[in-house]
Amino acid sequence: QQQVRQSPQSLTVWEGETAILNCSYEDSTFNYFPWYQQFPGEGPALLISIRSVSDKKEDGRFTIFFNKREKKLSLHITDSQPGDSATYFCAASANYGNEKITFGAGTKLTIKP
């Protein structure tokens, strides 16, 4: 059973548009949700994270929207740039991240100039 689901599997948007990446989870004990960005041949890099006590977290062009009741969250990337082209992983953890992280399968984002 996949604990963290992501959609779509791949997404293409034009430069300057907003990309929306979706994520849902099963385990009610999850309370920490990091998003990681991964470029080919590199390790995942922490992009932005949110704790379940918040419903929104913003960092520059990246915003997480979190709906605890529906167990859903989304990552919005505004003013998308070609350099944002990467695979984005939604992840979840209990104990505010101080233990194993469960990853989704990822969304491959392509930004067309």
Partner 1 sequence: DPKIIQKPKYLVAVTGSEKILICEQYLGHNAMYWYRQSAKKPLEFMFSYSYQKLMDNQTASSRFQPQSSKKNHLDLQITALKPDDSATYFCASSHPRGGRGAEQFFGPGTRLTVL
Q: Where do contacts with partner 1 occur on this chain (CB under 8 A)?
A: 32, 34, 36, 42-46, 49, 89, 91, 93, 95-106
Could you identify the residue written with the tokens 């704790």? 51
Cβ-based nearer residue to partner 1, 35 or 63: 35
Q: How far is the CB of 89 from partner 1 (least distance, A)?
A: 6
Least distance between partner 1 and beta carbon 6 (Å) = 9
The Cα 80–Cα 97 span in angstroms is: 28
Neighbours of 16 (CB within 10 A): 11
E strand or H helix at 73: strand 72-77
The tokens describing 81, both together, are: 């740039």
- Complex with partner 1: residue 77 or 106, whichever CB lies closer: 106
In angstroms, the CA 21 to CA 19 distance is: 7
Count Cβ atoms below 10 Å from residue 50 Cβ, excluding itself.
21
CB of 100 to partner 1, least distance (A): 4
Q: Please, what is the minimum distance in Å from the beta carbon of residue 82 to partner 1? A: 23
